[in-house]
Structure 1
Amino acid sequence: MSGPNGDPSISTEDGIINDDDEFGDEEYAAINSMLDQINNYLDDLEDRNDALNGKLHELLESNRQARLDFRAQLVGSPTPDEQDAEEQEPSLPSKQDQDEKNQ
């Protein structure tokens, strides 16, 4: 007969494997308590990670907006907010458009 991991030279009847370990209620209670503490620490760590992730996204968005504003100032083009305002206002036809219509 082969052993527990398929090793043909070890037999389960050799007495190497002993599953007769008995734990008392106190040991189980201590293990449960430790597992509860670990679970609480992991939950806290997950909450902190989620908060940091949210702050990181806010920071990235803020930096993106600042970069766009700075680029717009350098080029002299309107900022995204100004572009939105211009798109909402109806534009009047330019003088060139009026001249082309009249011809």
Structure 2
Amino acid sequence: MANRRTKQKSKEVGGRQQPDTASTIAPVSPALDAMPEDRQAKAVRQLVGPGQRRRTLVTQLEQVERELRPVVLEAVAAGVTYRRIAELSGISRATVARWAKTE
């Protein structure tokens, strides 16, 4: 009897008996079972396409800005307001002002 009582006390914490951990462990779901390397590889694969599209768009935007800058400066010299230039060109008034200041 003493042995049985000792085992029972070993499971008690603060006067309460703790559940047997072997029987309370939930089965691992397949989604959570993925290795970190697999998750990283999947994340990298998902980044490739959008990243390439973004780089292409940034390159195109840079080309358009090179075309747009002299036209913006010409409009500034002609007296068109920064607000109107910004509305028509899609660039900010701050950028128009900065471009005008550097020229």
Q: Return the TM-score normalized by structure 2.
A: 0.35
- Which one has a bigger Cα radius of gyration? 1
By relative contact order (CA 8 Å, sep 6+), the higher-ranking structure is 2
Q: Return the TM-score normalized by structure 1.
A: 0.35
